[in-house]
Amino acid sequence: MSLYLFATFVSFLFNFFLIVPFIHFLYKAKFQRQNQQTKDAFNKPTPIFDKFHAHKMGTPVGGGILIVVTTTLLFGFFVLLYAVFNKPLHANYPSVIGEIKIIFFTFLGFALLGIYDDLTKILLWRKSLFFGLRMRHKFILEIILATIIAYWLYSDLKIDIIHIPFFGVFTLGWFYIPFASFVIVAFSNAVNITDGLDGLASGVLMIALTGFWVIARSIIDVPTSMFIGVWLGGLLAFLYFNIYPARIILGDTGALSFGAMFAVIGLILGKAFALPMIGGVFILEIVTSLVQLLSKKYLKRKMFTVAPFHLWLQLRGWEEPKVVMRLWLLSIIFSIFGLMIAFMK
């Protein structure tokens, strides 16, 4: 365990000393939130969102870029150290290389998609598009990436089962591929939706990842344990500058990548059933948004005054830090419950 904690500490220091120069670089590159009216999936203005977020215009976007780069490099470095010192990379699957490949591909693949979306929003490429990539285009690309990852989980790691406490283990066979793809896409978008308040997504993710870290250590999965340790160090340094009032915003690069990676970790650890519980705040956010979206499309009326959940709390008069900290607490409760479920037979 000391090695993983060392990796976390090194990652924290590495990111903490790089993030201020990186923020200055983003200012110089004008990689910031633009002073423009945002629009929803139906290309309609979002006055409630603009009301609560107008003061954030000009804040640098792209914190996820730094964390993705540093986490990837440091994880690769620590894996290389294992090889140099001939230490075994214990894993629960026949292909350790396959597990590492899936981790790298997920983290970097969804990050590249997020970078393009961030650039589209910030540089205002093709203004006919709604705030970034068109929803259907982004969704198609997410499905393609997720299907590749799900196929590798099935073919390389031989994962095709789901364990449901009290009911036993269920073999899905090849149907595991669309199931895993759905989970990855869902969480990628869930974290992206949650990333709407200063410190919300990054704080909730840290709490939920700590729960998965406990599981990874309990089953002695070295690659996943090491990756989570390095990733947590970067998130901790980022959160210091992301709490209210944020000096830097995660952006789609981080949100899409982190959400997909969170889901993949849950799948690699064999805790698909506990995944939506440990990530309960993310589920709450995406479900309220999805219900709102479907009700507007098919019922021609809003189910909620506003969505997602954190924006509804703001509309009720809660200050932004209050919303964030109480959702952090809720995330702790969800994680405890999810861990309880994960360790049930």
Answer for the pair 103, 235: CB distance below 8 angstroms, yes or no: no
Taking CA atoms, 166 is separated from 101, 163, 341, in Å, by 33, 9, 10
Task: Indicate if the alpha-carbon torsion angle 323, 328, 329, 330 is positive or negative.
Answer: positive
How many other C-beta atoms lie within 10 A of the C-beta of residue 31? 18
Q: What distance in Å separates the CA atoms of residue 24 and residue 61, rounded to the nearest whole number? A: 11
> If we measure between CA atoms, which residue out of 9, 62, 12 comes closest to residue 240?
12
Q: Is 86 annotated as a binding residue?
A: no
List all residues 6 or more positions away from 332 whose beta carbon is below 8 Å from its beta carbon: 207
Q: Is 35 annotated as a binding residue?
A: no
Phi-psi region of 124 (alpha: psi -120 to 50; beta: other; left: phi over 0): left
**Are the C-beta atoms of 114 and 250 separated by less than 8 Å?**
no
Which residue, among 101, 94, 111, 186, has the nearest Cα to 148 in the 3D structure? 101
Show binding-site residues. 192, 252
Show binding-site residues for Mg(2+). 192, 252
